[in-house]
Amino acid sequence: MSAYFQKMKPYLLITAFAVSVLVSYILGFEPGEVIAGHFAQSFIEMITFIPFLFIIVGLFDAWVPKKQIEKHIGPQSGAKGILLITLLAMLQAGPLYGAFPVAYILYKKGAGIRNTFIFLGAFSFMKIPLLGIEIAYLGIQFSIAKTVVALPLFIGIGYFMEWYLKDKNFTIRDLTEQQTDKRRTS
C-alpha cells in the first residue's frame, strides 16, 4: 500500500489543488482565487520559457566542445574561470529555474564544481537586467555594496562545495547510475 501511495502522491496533490481552487471559486474565497491566478500566471510563464531554454541548452551541448569548457572553466581554471563564469551568469536572462539546466550542461561538459555553484549564485543575484532595475530603484551604492558582499560569498560557497563534494564521488556518471538504480527498484 505504501509503494502505491508514493506513486500516486503527485496525482493526489494535483487533484487536491484543483479541488481547492474549484471550491474557492464556488464559495467566492478570495485567497484561493488569488492563489489560482498566480499559479496560472506562473504556469504560462514556464510553458512559454522552458521550450526555448531547452533548445538553447541542447544547441550549447551540441556545439560547444567539452575541451573548451574544461580549459576555460574547468576544475583547474582558477581566477580566470571564476571571472568567466561570473560574466556568463551576469549575461543570462530569465528566472532562476532556467539556470539549473545550464548549470547541469556546464558541469556535464567539464566545468568545475566550484564554478558551477558560482554560476548559480551569480545568476540568482547579479544578472545585468536585474542590476539595471536595482540601480534605478535603490541606487548604485546599494548595488555595489550588494555585489561586494555577495560575490565573495558565492565564491566561498563554490570552494566549500568543491571541498565537500570532492570525496563524495560526485560525477555525472554516478548521478546517472543512481537514477538508473532508482528506476530498477521502483
Domain assignments of the chain as residue spans, ordered by start: 2-60, 65-185
Using a pLDDT cut of 90, give the percent of the chain over it.
Answer: 38
**Is residue 75 within 8 Å of 95, Cβ to Cβ?**
no
Burial status of residue 185 (CB atoms within 10 A of its CB: 0-12, 13-18, 19 or more): exposed
CA 71, distance to chain mean position in Å, is 23
At what angle are helices 113-125 and 78-91 packed, to 10 degrees?
30
Task: Report pLDDT digits (tens) over 88-117.
Answer: 999 888 888 889 999 999 998 889 999 999
Task: Report pLDDT digits (tens) over 23-46.
Answer: 988 888 898 889 889 999 988 988
Q: How far apart are CA 145 and CA 135, in angstroms?
A: 11
Q: Name the pLDDT band for 121 (thresholds 50, 70, 90).
A: very high
- Read off the pTM: 0.74
